[in-house]
Amino acid sequence: TGCGRTDAGVHALRYVADFRTTSGISTEKLPAALNSLLPRDISVLAAFEIPGSFHSTRSCVRKEYIYKIHLGKTRSPFLRDLALHYPYPFNFAEVKKACANFVGTHDFSAMRTLGTPVKSTVRTMYSCDAEISGDMAYIYMCANGFLYNMARAITGTLLEVARNKTSADGIPEILLSRDRARAGATAPAH
């Protein structure tokens, strides 16, 4: 059982999964044994014995997304699958201001794509922030859970703020509207 799912084109730095086994392979040797069988784009970093009550999905209390944006004038082939190339104006101060408006407990209906049915569209965003380093911008989001395409919809909305097409102060109104059409486009999977 995995802790959640990722969209095609999205990479996980740390992904927790649990399983039961009767294998005689020790916990210490299990990552190497699994890595010898897995495709090259997946690596097991560690293995732990856990209580039987642990469930990767239901026991998860926080998830964090990092969206990487390459602000260079020319796209980099080395970042092709890892960062969105965005050669447009980027109003960093407004993006940081807008990020703060996502923090808290909100109905995030305006920031999701209809997909898998959920019991509630209310989520708690523990943190949302932006950082620039060189020609890279990073959007960090940490919440108790994410709706389908929520992180990418928030990023798309922040990109509209970056280009001064949407006001940072308008984010609370967009959230309250619960209207997906009021938010920015879903950013591509990177």
Rounded to whole angstroms, the Cα distance separating 98 from 147 reads 19
- Order the strands of the 136-143 sheet from edge to edge: 84-85, 63-70, 136-143, 122-133, 104-107
Rounded to whole angstroms, the Cα distance separating 128 from 65 reads 9
Amino acid (one-letter) located at 120:
S
As given in the structure block, the two tokens for residue 185 are: 């486009």
Q: Which one of the listed residues 7, 81, 169, 179 is annotated catalytic?
A: 7
78: left (phi over 0), alpha (psi -120 to 50) or beta: alpha
Residue 7 designated active-site: yes
Amino acid (one-letter) located at 72:
G
164 contact partners, CB below 8 Å, separation of at least 6 = 89, 91, 94
Range 123-127 contact pairs with CB under 8 angstroms and sequence separation of 24 or more: 123/147, 123/150, 126/62, 127/103
Active site (catalytic) residues: 7
